[in-house]
Homo-oligomer: A and B are copies of this chain.
């Protein structure tokens, strides 16, 4: 624990390569492995496992029983085949988490991920590699983000949402509970390029709705709950149904009127 000034509780394991900022605390039974840098005042709660290279900004809350820097499939296979520790794989991507973030229990974030400031994660979230998440975004409990996704600022993805590879979510989007995006219209029966949906600034999708691959939901549009979205949704429209159809324009006094046209 050379160069560390934080407090390490009994039963925690902190490699010599770890650097802890002033006032940070590592809880009982946590394991910080490899190149890990923890900012000042950040708490790493009991039972959390961090596989470096990982950087966490100051003032954040990690854990308990969180996993940071989980290996991609290639890194994982490498680790088994070569008999080396995950954190020792030379070509691993870095996980960066900003300042004032909250990562709740059971959440697992892979290597090669970049997370902004003041981002909040619920419990048992899973974020795979090559994902970028903007500032002030909220990722709800049990959400799964399956890799190679761009997620903007002030986004809210509620409990149980699912984003497949190659999805794009712009700023201030709201996805209700259990919204499912898809990227393979042939359900593995035919070779195809996997393209997830794109959801433009300020749009909201109601709970339990399903978006077909590659659809685009326009700026400030609203999709009602339990809908099946098969085609693009016009900006500032309200759509709903199975399949979803346009019902009307978003009323002028709703939030979307505040977004730039």
What residues make up the interface of A, taking CB atoms closer than 8 Å to B? Answer: 9-11, 13, 23, 25, 27-29, 31, 33, 41-43, 45-47, 49, 59-61, 64-65, 67, 70, 73, 76, 79-81, 83, 85-86, 102, 104-106, 108, 122-124, 126, 141-142, 144, 146, 156, 159-160, 162, 164, 174, 176-178, 180, 182, 184, 186-190, 204-208, 210, 212, 222, 225-226, 228, 241-242, 250, 253-256
Contacts and interface: CB of A to CB of B under 8 A. Distances in A.
B206 A187 contact: yes
A100 to B, nearest CB: 8
A243 to B, nearest CB: 9
B49 A47 contact: yes
A123 B122 contact: no
A160 B237 CA distance: 30
A49 B122 CA distance: 17
A122 B67 CA distance: 14
A190 B255 contact: yes
9 contacts: A41-B83, A60-B80, A108-B123, A123-B124, A126-B141, A146-B159, A180-B208, A187-B205, A189-B204
A68 to B, nearest CB: 11
A255 B134 CA distance: 39
Contacts of A31: 11, 27-29, 46-47
A150 B255 CA distance: 31
A102 B222 CA distance: 40
Contact of A126 (B70, B122, B182): B122
Contact of A123 (B102, B126, B141): B126
Contact of A43 (B80, B126, B204, B226): B80
Given A208-B208, A212-B225, A241-B242, 16 more contacts: A13-B28, A28-B31, A33-B46, A47-B49, A61-B76, A61-B79, A65-B67, A67-B106, A104-B108, A126-B141, A159-B162, A182-B225, A188-B204, A188-B255, A189-B204, A242-B242
Contacts of A180: 160, 177-178, 207-208
Nearest to A240: B228
